[in-house]
Amino acid sequence: MNHPPLSERNGPARKGLLQLVGGDVLLRHWRPFAFVALATPIAAGIAHFVLPQTFVSESRVLIKLGREFMGPAEQSGRSSAMYRLNEAINSEVEILSSRELAAEVVDYVGMSILFPDLAEETDDSPEVLRQKAAAALLKSLSTTGVAESSVIRVALAHEDRMVAQEALGTLMERFQARHLDVFSGKQLPVADEVVTAVRKALVEAEEARANYREANGIFDADEERSILLRRRDELLTKIEELRASRGQLASGVAPDGEGEGSVLTEDEDLITLRAEEQRLLENYYPSSHAVQAVRAQIVSRERLATERLEKQLSALEADEQRWVASLSEVDLGLRQLETHARSLRELDRSVSFEETRLQEAMGAREAALFDAKLDAGEVTSVVVIDRPTLPLEPLGIGLVAKLFVGAIAGLFLGGSLVILLHLLGREDDEDADEQLQRETSAESATPTRPTVFGSVKLPS
């Protein structure tokens, strides 16, 4: 079977498109085209009047870095200030979009005004309906921070323009009240309690220090330490002098200014007796009675001198032991004084710590008192720079614009429908042509026999 070339097979399609562009097909299907082209803008107009319209009331709030956001500055500079500003804006946005604030607006405006359908429901409790209304109000509320500024744009949508303005106005009023409530000076009672507690702790610390001083007899630890150190130096000097005197006595030398001589060999009686002994030895034998008598006196005199020195040594030893005992007492007193001084330093630190805490608590109380005065005057860093506006036009495009868009859409949809109908009709025509061609080919291929009545088809 011979197939026509591709150019011949695509010829009908090109011809149909040219016919469509030329208007032949459009005239052929003008009824559906006209129906769609007219029905679309009419439907847009009907929807404009039938569907509920939404009005949006807008307001703007300026957030200043006031006392509410001024905490202890960790660092100075633009970055810190910008961080606090962003934190302040985010905090105010959260307050604006809080469920409790929305519930207050529902209470002030009225559920029957805001959401009449919810007000007519009887299946749920009043609190559940109140929360549902608050959730619905939050869905119609939008809060957006304006870039590169400290302004928050607040918008509220409602089917009634007056209700939208009233609800947004109530929201802004309750927002300012809630802001004051959140950042209010309620810290003043707490600050007073802290000051009272710290003062009590300071009095207790001072009493503990005074009682410790009185119980241990310590009034000026530094002065008492100086006295004990001077006493210790005096005792050490005396002990050294006693030990030097003992050394001299132990070597046979009497201390200066004590006894009857400075040296045992320089005793006048002994010198006289020894001289007498030498003189007698010149004339008598050592065993003579006179020499023996002098020698006996010398021995007696030496014994007396030795006993005197031993008594002096004993007295010096007793004095040394007494001074050493006194030195031990002084050292013990110094150690005890150091222990008491350490405890006193701990008590002094406790008193200083409580004094510092009291100063900080007093400063916090002054700040809380200042905030309370500002709260009483309703001084806040939130300023409504644009009161809620009365929306004049509903949300979306107007009637004329809707009709225009509907007309354009109708033309487009109508043209698309015409093209679709044309393509479907052309396919049906092509199928019919092919069927006719097959039947014609079948008839031409059947053999015939001429008769008097004409040609007769022979059975196959």
pLDDT by residue (tens digit) across 97-109? 889 999 999 998 8
Q: What is the mean pLDDT of the chain?
A: 74
CB atoms within 10 A of CB 301: 17
Residue 156 burial by CB count (10 A; 0-12/13-18/19+): exposed, middle or buried? buried
Integer Cα distance of 426 and 9 in angstroms = 13
Do residues 391 and 56 touch, judged by C-beta distance below 8 A?
A: yes
Question: How far from 201 is each of 191, 208, 211, 399, CA to CA, in Å?
Answer: 15, 10, 15, 77
Integer Cα distance of 238 and 243 in angstroms = 9
For 335, half-sphere exposure in the C-beta direction (CA atoms, 13 angstrom radius) is 5
Structure tokens at 24: 């032949």
pLDDT digits (tens, 9 = 90+) for 275-329: 887 888 888 788 888 878 878 888 887 788 777 777 877 787 888 788 888 888 8
- When pLDDT is cut at 50, 70 and 90, the band that residue 21 belongs to is very low
Query: Angle, nearest 10°, between helix axes 30-50 and 399-444?
Result: 150
75: pLDDT strictly greater than 50? no
pLDDT of residue 352: 92
The DSSP code sequence of 223-269 is: HHHHHHHHHHHHHHHHHHHHHHHHHHHHTTBPPTTSSS-SBGGG-HH
Cross-strand partners of 155 = 58, 142
Integer Cα distance of 89 and 151 in angstroms = 8
Range scoring the smallest mean pLDDT among 210-219, 354-363, 398-407, 422-431: 422-431
- When pLDDT is cut at 50, 70 and 90, the band that residue 17 belongs to is very low
Q: What is the DSSP letter of 460?
A: -
Domain boundaries, the chain: 6-50+395-457, 55-183, 199-376
135: pLDDT strictly greater than 60? yes
CB atoms within 10 A of CB 207: 10
- When pLDDT is cut at 50, 70 and 90, the band that residue 353 belongs to is very high
Integer Cα distance of 86 and 150 in angstroms = 8
Integer Cα distance of 347 and 212 in angstroms = 9
pLDDT of residue 39: 76
CB atoms within 10 A of CB 220: 10
Return the SS3 of 10.
Answer: coil
pLDDT of residue 384: 82
Integer Cα distance of 310 and 316 in angstroms = 10
pLDDT of residue 444: 58
316 alpha carbon, distance to own chain's centre: 77
CB atoms within 10 A of CB 233: 11
pLDDT of residue 291: 77
Pick the closest to residue 373 from 162, 189, 188 (CA basis).
188
